[in-house]
Amino acid sequence: MTGPPDPLDLAGRVLEAAGGGETQVTVVHERSLTNRFAGSVPTQATALDTVTVHVLSVVDGQTGGASCTALDDATLRATAGRARRAAEAAARSGPGIYPGLPEPAAGGGHDGFDAATAELDPAAAGAALAAAAGAAGEHGLDADGVWTAGDVRTAITSSRGLAVADRVTDAAMRVLCRDASGRAGFAAGAGTGLGHVDGAALAHRAAAKVVTGQAAGLEPGEYPVVLEHEAVGALLDMLGDLAFNGLAHAEGRGALVGRLGARVAARGIELSDAPRFPGTLPRAFDAEGVPKAPRPLIEDGVARAVVHDTRSAAIAGDGAASTGHALEPGGSAWGPGTRNLVLAGGGAASVDELAAPIERGIYITRLWYLNVVHERSALLTGVSREGTFLVEDGRIARPLRDVRFTDSVLRILAATEALTSAQRLVSEAEFYGTRFASGTVAPALRADGFRITGGA
Amino acid sequence: MTAVSVRDLLQDLLGVVPAGCDHAEARVVVRDSEAIGVRNGAVEWLESEASAGVGVRVRSGGAWGFAATAEMTPAAARGALARAIAVAEAQPRPAAGRRAWAAAVTGVTPATGTWASPCAQDPFAVSVDVKLDHLLAAEAAMAGDARIARREASCLSVRTHVTFASTAGALCEQTIVHCGGGLEALAVDGDEAQVRSYPSGHGGSVAAAGWEHLLSLDLAANAPRVAEEAVALLTAPVCPTGPVTLVLGGEQLALQVHESIGHALELDRMLGAEASYAGTSWIAPSDIGSLRFGSEPMHVTADATLPGGLGTFAWDDEGVAARRTTLVDGGILRAALSDRTSAAAIGLAESGGCARADGFARQPIVRMTNVSLEPGGAGSLADLLADTGEGLYLETNRSWSIDDRRLHFQFGTEIAREIRRGELGRLYRNASYAGVSPRFWGSLDAVCSAPEWRLHGLLNCGKGEPGQIMAVSHGTAPARFRGVEVGAGGGGPGPSEARCRTAAR
C-alpha cells in the first residue's frame, strides 16, 4: 500500500486529465477516528481513510459534477468526462446562470491544524473513554458518548489557475451521564485538537446536571430562559440557514428579507461569520476556493448582511459577489452557508449570574431536533434534552421535565437581556458524508418570553 | 473490479484474519448515483457519484472495531483489517462487574447467493437528455403565476452493489436500484412563503425500481395543481388550533410511523447504544410482548421483502436474510428492530435482520427496513371522510421534530383542509399537530383499506456516529385519530406511557 497521493498534486493531475474547458477539481482526503461508548463501556470504533475526487465542469453557465473514490488514471479520466458530458447536456437546455469559476485570490492562513491530533492514535481515544467512565463512576453514574478526531486535507485546482490546499484537524467529545432512573446530564467539548477534549472534565460537568429529586412539569406559556452555550449554538446554527443564506434571501423566503439595515436583535448583539476567530474551526477557503474572511452579520442588533457563493450572488444581482461561503463546488442548489458563526459574549460571569434576576423560569442545557415551523419568521420548534431545570427566585433550583419550545430565533435574540463573557465552541460533529468539521462560538444567554408549547 | 476479483479480495482478506479475532466480516460496496434537478427553466444540479471501497468489522480483544478504505487492493484491505483490529484492541476494558458491549452475537446461517432488486428500465441506461426533457416539461407546467418564486423538478437514481463475506462462511452479493423524483413549487407574496410538493416533500417519491417508477408519477400532469395549491396557500387562513378529529394523508402518516414507531423500536436505542446522538427510547426491551403502544386498529410490520421498498434487500449488512416481522399487533408491542448484537443482548435466538450501513465507509447499525402501518377496514379515503363528518385533513410533511425518547412530537404539513359534512372543504396554511406517541396511537380509530395503502420512500433518515443516511419505506393508508392537538402546542405536560404498560389481553 503506497498511501494516497498529495491532494494538491492529485487535483493538478485530474485537471490535466480533464483536457481543457472550464473545470474545477476538488480533492478531499479524510482520516478520522470515532469511538462511541454506552453504559460506560465502548460500543463502536470506526477508523476511516478515504479520498474523494470531485470534478465540476462549466459550459455556457451550466454546471455538471462527478465524483469518484478510486484514484487510478482511467477512473479519474472517466470522472472528468462524466462531469463534462453532464455540463454539456445541461447546456443543451439553454444557457445557465452560473457566472463562471472564481478567479484566484489570496487568502489568509489559520492555526487549525494540530500535528498531534493528526496522528489519530487509537490509544488517545481509549484513554478518553476510560477517563470519562471513571469520572462518571465517581458520581455513581454511567457514561454514554462519543469521542472523535479527524485530519482533513482539501485541495482545489481550476482552469482559472487556482491551486490551493488546506489541512485542518478537529476533535470533539460528548459525554452524557445517566443515573439508574434514566435522568441524564450533558457536556461537550470541541476544537482543533485533542487539548479541547478532556473526558474526565466533561464527565464531571455532565454529572453535575444529574440532580436527584422529582422533576417538575411546566405548563405551556412564555418564560424567562437561560440558554447554555450548546443551546445557543444550536439556535444560531439554524439561524444561519434561515436568515443569512443569500439564495433564500434572493428568493424572498429568507428571514431577513426587507430587514437588512433594521434592528432584528437586542442592542449589543454582535453576530458574525469569523473563520479565524479563536476557538472556531477555521478553514482557508470555501468549496469554490474563495478565501474565507470575516463577515459581520448583525451589528449592535442591526441586520447587516447575508452570505453568498458565486451562484447565489449571480441570482441576487445588484452587485452581489461571493463572500466565500460556498458549501459545494459551483455553489449548492440550496444556497451558501455560514459555518463559523461567532456570537460575541457579554458581561455575565456565569450562568448563575444570568439566572439571578429570574423569579420563575427555565434553564436549558441543550436543544434537540430543531426544525423549521415558518421560514420567513425564523420560527423553530424543538425540545430540551439532558439538563433542563426550573429557575426559582434567581437560582437554578430543581430538575424540570424536558420541554418543547416553538419560538423565533430572531425574537429570542431581540429579547436577549444578558450574555456570559465566556464563549464555547458548539459543534454537532455529526459528519454525514465526508467529514467537514464546523461549529458556532457562542456564549450562554438570558432571554425573556421563551415560548414553551408542550412537555417532553 | 470485476465481481470475481471482489470475491477473491474478500476471501484473501478473511484468510489472513488472526486467530485472536473472534469475528470478522467485510463488505465491498460499489455505488453509482445520479441526481438531476431543474429550477425555473434551467438545470440547477446534475451530479453523478461513483464510490467503491471495502469496510472491515472485527471483534478482537473483547471489543468491536471497524475500518474502511477506498483502495480496493489486497494490501489496502489487509491494512484496513489491521486498523480495525488496532482500534478495537485500543479500547478500554469494562470496569469490574460490567459486561462488554455485544460480547455475543446471534447465530446465523451463512448467507450465500446473489440477488437483484426488480428494475424494468435501468435508470442509468436512460440518457441525461431524456431525463432533462422530462423534468423541464414538468417544471414548466408549474409556470404562469408571478407569485411562484421557484419551480423545481428533480430525479434521483442510485445503484448499489454489495458483496459481503464473513469468517462465519457468508459470501453473498446483491444489487439494488432506487429511482424516483418529484416536484416542488415555492410561492412568495409579501411576508408569506408557502411550499407545495408532489408526490411528497423532501425529494419526492423514490422506490426500489427503475425509470418506470418516475414515469408512473406523471409529474407533468400534476404540476399545474401543485402550483395552484402553493399560490392558494398564500392567502388561505391559518390552520385552526385545538383538539380535533384528524385524518392524516398517507405520506404524512409515513413520517409519523417513521419517527414515533420505527425509531422508538430500534433495539440499540432501547439498550442505550445511541444515547450520545440519536437518543434512547421510551420503550424498554422488557415491554416487548405486553406494552400497549396504541389502539386495536394499530398493526405494524417491518418487512424487508416488500417489492419496491427502499428498505428491501435479500440480506442485511450482517448477512441475515430479509424477513417480515410483526412489530405491533392490535396495539400490543410484539417485537423490536434488531441486529445480531442487540438481539443477543436481550437473549433473542435470531436477529431481526435490520443491520444496515451507509456505504462502505460505515459499519452496520440497527435500521428500519420497511416499517408499515397495515391497512384497516375503513374503505376509501372518501368513505373515511364521510364517516368522519367534521375535522381536519392534513397532507404532505413540511417539518418534523420529536424528543430523544421518541415520545413527544410536533409535525407540520404543507397543507390542511377542513372536513365538513363528510367532505374536504376549504384550505388552511401553516398546519401543525403535536402529541405523545402512545396517546396519539391510542387515538387511532380507523385506517383505510388495502386499495388506499401505498409505500412511501424516505431518503434522509439520519443516525449513528459518524453519521449515516439511510433510505427506508413505510406503507400507509390514510387514517383517523381522535382528539389530536392541532396548532403550535399539544403534547401537554405529564408522562403518559405508564398507563400503556398493561398486559396484553
Contact B316, B352 (CB under 8 A): no
Give me the residue from A33, A371, A435 closest to B401, CB to CB: A371
Give B298 to chain A, closest Cα distance, Å. 23
pLDDT band at B100 (very low <50, low <70, confident <90, very high): confident
Q: How far is A38 from chain B (nearest CA, A)?
A: 5
Q: What is the pLDDT of residues A117-152, one digit of tens each?
A: 999 999 999 999 999 999 999 999 999 999 999 999
Collect all residues of chain A within an 8 Å Cβ-Cβ radius of residue B492. 220, 454-455
What the block records as the C-alpha cell of A334 is: 440550496
Rg (CA), chain B: 24
Size of interface A-B (CB pairs under 8 A): 301
- Per-residue buried b or exposed e for B385-408, using 16+ beta carbons within 10 Å of the residue's own CB: beebeebbbbbbbbbbbbbbbbbb
Cell 456570559 sits on residue: A420
- Half-sphere exposure for B348 (CA within 13 Å, toward CB): 24
Q: What is the overall mean pLDDT for chain B? A: 93
Arithmetic mean of pLDDT, B222-228: 98
Neighbours of A294 (CB within 10 A): 14
Q: Which three cell numbers stand for residue A444?
A: 450562554
Which pLDDT score is estimated for A4? 77
| A37 neighbourhood in chain B, CB within 8 Å | 276
pLDDT tens-digit series, residues A420-446: 999 999 998 888 999 999 999 999 999
| Residues A432, B469: C-beta atoms closer than 8 Å | yes
pLDDT value at B505 more than 60: no
Strand partners, B112: B171
The torsion defined by the Cα of A220, A221, A223 and A229, in degrees rounded to 10, comes to 50
pLDDT above 70: residue B291: yes
> Chain B residue with minimal CA distance to A36?
B465
Residue B37, CA distances (Å) to A96, A203, B42, B45, B477 in order: 13, 46, 9, 5, 29
pLDDT band for A10, please (50, 70, 90 cuts): very high
> Which of A149-163, A357-371, B96-110, B269-283 is predicted with the least confidence, judged by mean pLDDT?
B96-110
Q: Is residue A181 scored above 90 in pLDDT? A: no
> Are B75 and A1 an interchain contact pair (Cβ–Cβ within 8 Å)?
yes
The torsion defined by the Cα of A203, A206, A208 and A211, in degrees rounded to 10, comes to -130
Question: How confident is residue B493, by pLDDT bands cut at 50, 70 and 90?
Answer: very low
* Residue A213: predicted pLDDT: 82
Nearest to A65 among B46, B279, B399 (CB): B46
Q: Which residues of B touch A127 (CB under 8 A)?
A: 92
Q: What is the pTM of this model?
A: 0.95
> Which residue among B88, B404, B491 places its CB closest to the CB of A455?
B491
3-state secondary structure of B505: coil
C-beta atoms of B275 and A176 within 8 A: yes
Q: Report the pLDDT value the prediction gives residue B488, as an integer from 0 to 100.
A: 58
SS3 A190: strand
Please check whether residue B340 is in contact with residue B105, taking contact to mean a CB–CB distance below 8 angstroms.
Answer: yes
Closest residue, chain B, to A72 (C-alpha): B71
- pLDDT for residue B499: 35
Q: Which residues of B touch A333 (CB under 8 A)?
A: 37, 39, 44-45
Nearest neighbour of B68 by CB, restricted to A50, A130, A175: A50
Binned at pLDDT 50, 70 and 90, residue B140 comes out as very high
Question: Given pLDDT bands bounded at 50, 70 and 90, which one contains residue B498?
Answer: very low
Q: Do B51 and A182 touch (CB under 8 A)?
A: no
Across A342-357, average pLDDT? 98
A421 vs B497: which has the higher pLDDT: A421
What is residue B244's predicted lDDT score, i.e. its pLDDT? 97
Look at B20-24, B299-303, B309-313 and tell me which has the smallest mean pLDDT.
Answer: B20-24
Q: Cell 446562470 identifies what position?
A: A97
Of A240, A174, A186, whose CA–CA distance to A429 is shortest? Answer: A174
Is B467 in contact with A431 (Cβ distance < 8 A)? yes
Say whether A67 and B69 touch across the interface (CB within 8 A).
no
| pLDDT (0 to 100) of residue B426 | 96
Contacts of B69 in chain A (CB under 8 A): 49-50
Three cell numbers written together for B67: 475500518
Torsion of CA A234, A237, A241, A245, to 10 degrees: 160
Specify the pLDDT at position B1.
Answer: 52
The span from the CA of A28 to the CA of A24, in Å, is 13
- pLDDT given at position A456: 66
User: How far is the C-alpha of A281 from the C-alpha of A5, rounded, in Å?
Assistant: 25
A332: cell is 449548492
pLDDT at residue B502, rounded to an integer: 35
**Does residue B431 have a pLDDT over 80?**
yes
Interchain pair B47, A176: CB under 8 A: no
Q: What is the number of residues in chain A?
A: 456
d(CA B258, CA B274): 17
How far apart CA B422 and CA B419 sit, in angstroms, is: 6
Helix A199-207 and helix A122-138: axis angle, to 10°? 30
- Whether residue B467 and residue A252 make contact (CB cut-off 8 A), yes or no, is no
How many whole angstroms separate alpha carbon A357 and alpha carbon B259? 39
- Is the predicted pLDDT of residue B494 greater than 60, yes or no? no
Does the pLDDT of residue B90 top 60, yes or no? Answer: yes
Q: Are residues A133 and B64, on separate chains, in Cβ contact within 8 Å?
A: no
Cα-Cα-Cα-Cα dihedral of B439, B444, B450, B453, to 10°?
A: -50
pLDDT band at A156 (very low <50, low <70, confident <90, very high): very high
Q: What is the pLDDT of residues B45-55, one digit of tens each?
A: 999 999 999 99
Among chain A residues, the shortest Cα distance to B67 is held by A47
Nearest to A122 among B64, B90, B494 (CB): B90
Residues forming a β-bridge with A223: A450
Q: Which of B48, B80, B92 faces A42 most closely, judged by CB atoms?
A: B92
pLDDT at A3 over 90: no
Shortest Cα–Cα distance, A347 to chain B (Å):
32
Gap from A128 CA to chain B (nearest CA, Å): 9
Taking CA–CA distances from A78, the nearest residue in chain B reads B50
Task: Give the C-alpha separation, A258 to A455, whole Å.
Answer: 35
Residue B103 has pLDDT above 80, yes or no: no
C-alpha cell at position B367: 435500521
Smallest Cβ–Cβ distance between A454 and the set B84, B271, B434 belongs to B434
DSSP B346-365: TT-SS--S-EE-SSTTS--E
- Single-letter code of the amino acid located at A93: S
Q: Provide long-range contacts, Cβ within 8 A and 24+ apart, for B282-289.
A: B282/B405, B282/B406, B282/B407, B282/B437, B282/B438, B282/B497, B283/B333, B283/B336, B285/B336, B285/B346, B287/B333, B287/B501, B288/B333, B288/B334, B288/B335, B288/B336, B289/B332, B289/B333, B289/B334, B289/B504
Q: What is the pLDDT of residues A24-73, one digit of tens each?
A: 999 999 999 999 999 999 999 999 999 999 999 999 999 999 999 999 99
Main-chain phi, psi angles of A192, to 5 degrees: -80, -10
Average pLDDT, chain A: 96
Of B98, B361, B493, the CB nearest to A455: B493
- Which of the pair, B487 or B492, is modelled with greater confidence? B487
The reply to whether residue B465 touches residue A148, judged by beta carbons under 8 angstroms, is yes
Residue B495 has pLDDT above 50, yes or no: no
